[in-house]
Amino acid sequence: MIKIDKSHATVPLILDRTNSKSKGTLATQVLETEYDAGKRTFEFDSNIYGHTDVKQALIQLQHGKCCFCESFVRHIAHGDVEHFRPKGGYQDSTSTTLLRPGYYWLAYDFENLFLSCQVCNQTYKRNFFPLADDAKRVKSHHNHADLHLEEPLIVDPTKDTPEDHIYFDQEIPKGIDDKGTLTIERLGLDRDELNEYRFSWLKNLQDIARHAAQGDMISLELLSEAAQNKSVFSLMVRSNFPFLQGI
């Protein structure tokens, strides 16, 4: 995982909350009205939150990588627009049923959206969103201002620094704390296929590192580039070659 900075990003017009006539704003108003009328199960328009402009903005912010596993997504798939706080309903553990409503008012909120590979999103993360204290969970748009009081138990790519919670022992992700451990487990970041792919990449980098250690500057530049956020599996690279963080 990498930290994703949206602070200077331009929100796609379709989701612009400052525009009272944007499709995202209008759709959110409908959801809030339905909630106030007693509705707890909602329909969402993927043509709005999954609009081409939204996906393209996320691709640029995330360098074309999955927000969770750091695989390049667009090489092999369209990718999913993932809701970090689940829109329709949530699970606070793997054994509970889906609890409704979810964070319906954030369905078209750009801050809540990420680009994810289909495996991370559909097979693993799904609607999982546990909190340290469920009594602090915000359950309607009326309490949106209290959202910052929530303490998610999985790493938030925009609020957390992933390196504070996850490191790599060779190609295998390990948790530094409980949040990191749960994130790895629930998002499947240690799944066999992913470990094998990371291992192949790491072996290539180790060969490059040997040349760099012998003074080959091109190899050092290649290794340094591999540690940058724009590159695949950059957190794994920085964990295995910590000296690159100072370059």
The last residue of a domain, from among 124, 159, 194 = 159
Mean pLDDT of the chain: 95
Question: What is residue 135's predicted lDDT score, i.e. its pLDDT?
Answer: 97
Residue 132 sits in the same domain as residue 61: yes
d(CA 127, CA 90): 5
Residue 29 sits in the same domain as residue 112: yes
Task: Say if residue 193's pLDDT is above 80.
Answer: yes
The tens digit of pLDDT for each residue in 177-186 reads 999 999 999 9
The last residue of a domain, from among 96, 129, 159 = 159
**Within a domain: 189:** yes
Give residue 245's identity as a one-letter amino acid code.
Q
The last residue of a domain, from among 136, 159, 182 = 159
Q: What is the DSSP letter of 119?
A: I
Question: What is residue 246's predicted lDDT score, i.e. its pLDDT?
Answer: 57
- Report the number of distinct structural domains present in the chain: 2
Residue 126 sits in the same domain as residue 242: no
Question: What is residue 178's predicted lDDT score, i.e. its pLDDT?
Answer: 98
The tens digit of pLDDT for each residue in 110-142 reads 999 999 999 999 999 999 999 999 999 999 999
Q: Predicted confidence band at 94 (pLDDT cuts at 50, 70, 90)?
A: confident
- Please compute the mean of the pLDDT values over residues 44-73 and round it to a whole number: 97
**Within a domain: 184:** yes
**Within a domain: 4:** no
Residue 138 sits in the same domain as residue 220: no
d(CA 113, CA 55): 9
**Within a domain: 5:** no
Residue 145 sits in the same domain as residue 208: no
Question: What is residue 219's predicted lDDT score, i.e. its pLDDT?
Answer: 96
The length of the chain in residues reads 247
Strand runs labelled E in the chain: 80-83, 113-116, 166-169, 172-175
d(CA 132, CA 153): 6
Question: What is residue 247's predicted lDDT score, i.e. its pLDDT?
Answer: 55
- Please compute the mean of the pLDDT values over residues 156-182 and round it to a whole number: 97
Return the half-sphere exposure (C-beta side, CA atoms, 13 A cut-off) of residue 162. 26
Residue 33 sits in the same domain as residue 135: yes
Give the pTM.
0.94
Residue 79 sits in the same domain as residue 126: yes
For residue 190, give its domain range. 160-247
Neighbours of 163 (CB within 10 A): 16
